[in-house]
Amino acid sequence: MEKLQYPDPVVLVIFGAGGDLTKRKLVPALYDLYLDGGLPDKFALIGTDAREMSPKDFIRQLRDGTDEFSRFGKTETKQWQAFLKCINDYVVADLTDRKLYEKISQKLDELNQQWQGNAVRLFYQATPPSVVEGLIEQLKAAGLAQDRQKSRIVLEKPFGWDANSAAELNRKLATAFDESQIFRIDHFLGKETVQNILALRFANGIFEPIWDRRYVDHVQINMPEKLGVEHRGPYYEKTGALRDMIENHLMQVMCLTAMDAPVAFEADTIRDKKVEVLRAVRPIEVAQVHDFTARGQYGPGWIEGEKVPGYRQEPGVDPQSDTETYAAVKLFIDNWRWQDVPFYLRTGKRMAQTVSEVSINFRPAPHQAFPPSAIGSYQMNRLVLYIDPEEGIRLRFYAKRPGQGMKLSPVDMQFSYKQAFHREPAQAYETLLADAMIGDATLFKRRDQVEASWAIVMPIIEGWSEVAEDFPNYAAGTWGPETGEALIARDGRAWQMPTPLNDPDVCEPPEARPGGEKA
Ligand code: BG6
């Protein structure tokens, strides 16, 4: 990894350090950064949580998490011991206790003295959202938010539960921090493949000329997941698929796909272009919500040969719950580039497969000179951006099949990260933590982006609340409810089935293969 330049020492203070996020994401990411030479030379982590745990148990928990989730696999003792030098302390305290902040302040002073420099301080909120406002007040009262250059707050979603609470949270943040000090995480933006959307579009001259309504028929942003809600029932009951995924991850990916070219690769220039997309989204009238959206909730079903319970039977979930675990939305972006091109966004829990992909589907050739028998059933040319779990790009187009006569088949050109670069892409949290340390906010959400995406989903929330749906309406392990299929079928289109990268068989119909049969 290219070594980042850290102008100052960095202290990361994690609030909620005893929880899952620290164990599964933050510390494995820090460890991976460390192994890659991407941590500042002068770096310290202070963890704090109300959970009673000795520093030894804290470290044990972090190692377990790192063994499981590090990109480099199980930790080696020598490297782990060296990494541990970065872990300064685990403080058991209630976040509402003023003394905790005095203690943190004191520790920061000690570290500054030891390093003979004024460290950047990142205050990372890895707590449940209910305590965020209190945390902001305490940081402000302790004077920890004051330094506009060196004090930063990093926040996890959700940023509110609706437009009002998001605006309220933003107002609260603004009482203590300047916007330049606030780093709102949408972890999708840290994924290499999501960042690569910008590289693909704006580092190359060949895509941009056809990236608009003249050539693009429609765009699909598809993020089904096989996982259910696991132990997150109580949280998910309050969010549902629309708030959990569409309002943030899918809309952010849509912004990168649809935005105009920035004049410079700078945080605010890029974020300005993204927010223009959100503001151009055609508002959905509450009365029309059912023409533009579909929602679902999974019932019992089968995943990988195992029977799994329905959402209403999951722990922490109301047995009569009407929370949606599936959401599909059709949006239009009213501007010169995209007028009348539908963007279909879909996500759901307990679906048949886990994938994140964006596909840009191009209009057919204006005149087809080949007889219908040469082509068979026509497939649109399409460019698929694979975000997860596979990472790459595939371009599908027609080619002549070998042999006599003019028979055409769709074929693929593809790029796979692993094959091209011979390494695993960095995990999203590595990138995001490193960027927050150097103060680069490009991949973080600005206040206006958060408020603009809530404005888009509010009529949907309202429309859904007016009419109850007959839940559950899809079985676990399937592709979601019929209403989701109907949403896109009404327009004469269909959701694309994910196709694995590097599947050499996928283009060829069985009769075209030697031997004539699929192996
Ligand atoms: C989180 C959602 O933000 O993103 C989860 O709360 C979802 O419900 C997850 O499963 C998906 O992220 P990833 O990186 O695992 O694809």
Judged by DSSP in three states, 90 sits in: strand
Q: Looking at ligand 1, which residue's alpha carbon is closest to its atom 9?
A: 245
249, 290, 367, 422: which one is catalytic?
249
Give distance in angstroms: CA of 490 to centre of ligand 1. 29
Distance in Å, CA 354 to ligand 1 centroid:
11
Say how far apart CA 429 and CA 29 lie, in whole Å: 6
pLDDT of the residue at 517: 37
CA of 227 to the centre of ligand 1 (A): 10
> Token pair for residue 363?
């209009």
User: Would residue 367 show up in a list of annotated catalytic residues for this protein?
Assistant: no
Within 6 A (CB) of ligand 1 lie 187, 225, 244, 356, 388
Question: In DSSP terms, which residues pair with 400 in a beta bridge?
Answer: 408
What's the pLDDT score for residue 505? 52
Please measure the distance between the N-terminal and C-terminal CA atoms of the chain and give it in whole angstroms: 41
Separation of CA 185 and ligand 1 centre (Å): 12
DSSP 141-203: HTTTT--TTTEEEEEPSP--SSHHHHHHHHHHHHHHS-GGGEEE--GGGGSHHHHHHHHHHHS
| 516 vs 513: CA distance, rounded Å | 5
Answer whether 212's CB lies under 8 Å from 311's CB: no
Q: Which two tokens stand for residue 300?
A: 């019992």
> How far is it, in rounded angstroms, from Cα 306 to Cα 363?
41
3-class SS of residue 326? strand
Tell which one of 155, 161, 186, 188 to mutate to probe ligand 1, the residue whose CB is within 8 A of the most ligand atoms: 188
Query: What is the pTM (predicted TM-score) of this model?
Result: 0.94
pLDDT of residue 8: 85
Alpha-carbon distance of 324 to 473, in angstroms, equals 10
Residue nearest to atom 5 of ligand 1 (CA): 244
Regions of the chain short of the pLDDT cut 70: 1-4, 503-519
